[in-house]
């Protein structure tokens, strides 16, 4: 199967580092040319489902500008420039919770939007996590750290309390390893 080819690209909106939009000229395998394909870039990110030595899931209840009402969340954040996804995941876990884990499982790296691109989301499971430091709270959002049981996680999934696609994907993928 043949990929589409990018024949030209031009930045049409630059709100770096948060958002960039390009206009691509795209050529299909048939020879057909699409002169105006929108390509969107936001920072790549990690999400980490974290389970403590005692078997508790570390979550946040938080508000996010893009989400109605409050939501359950997993650990996560944007990759720094040139940062390896696993390193970013380990950094975010330490910063957001003060926990560290000796046992990391990659849950896959996924394209956010098959047409416009948007970002890559890298998902991880961290097991046997231990509290080793004080968290650094630098997010703008109000958030409360929660330790949930597996039964509570299952209920939260069933009622859609993880309101963001990547967070639900991470939690459901993680459960397959636990």
Contacting positions for a copy of itself (CB under 8 A): 1-4, 12-13, 15, 18-19, 21, 26, 28-29, 32, 34, 36-38, 40, 42, 61-67, 69-71, 73, 108-118, 121, 140, 142, 157, 160, 162-166, 168-169, 172-173, 176
96-114: buried (b, 16+ CB within 10 Å) or exposed (e) per residue?
bbbbbbeeeeebeebebee
CB of 42 to a copy of itself, least distance (A): 6
CB nearer to a copy of itself: pick between 100 and 120? 120
Distance CA 111, CA 25 (A): 21
Radius of gyration of the chain (CA): 19
CB of 140 to a copy of itself, least distance (A): 6
Check: CB of residue 10 under 8 Å from CB of residue 39: no
CB of 169 to a copy of itself, least distance (A): 4
């Amino acid at each position: 199967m043949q990929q589409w080819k990018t024949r030209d690209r031009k930045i049409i909106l630059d709100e770096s580092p948060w958002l960039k939009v390009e206009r691509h000229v795209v050529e299909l395998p048939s020879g057909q040319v699409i002169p105006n394909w929108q390509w969107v870039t936001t920072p790549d990110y990690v999400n980490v489902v974290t389970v403590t030595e005692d078997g508790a899931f570390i979550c946040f209840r938080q508000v996010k500008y893009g989400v109605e009402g409050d939501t359950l969340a997993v650990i996560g954040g944007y990759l720094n420039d040139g940062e390896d996804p696993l390193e970013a995941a380990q950094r975010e876990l330490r910063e957001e919770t003060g926990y560290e884990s000796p046992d990391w499982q990659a849950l896959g790296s996924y394209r956010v939007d098959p047409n416009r691109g948007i970002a890559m989301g890298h998902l991880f499971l961290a097991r046997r996590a231990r509290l080793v430091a004080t968290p650094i709270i630098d997010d703008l959002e109000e958030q409360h750290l929660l330790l949930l049981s597996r039964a509570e996680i299952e209920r939260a999934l069933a009622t859609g309390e993880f309101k963001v696609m990547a967070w639900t994907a991470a939690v459901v993928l993680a459960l397959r390893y636990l």
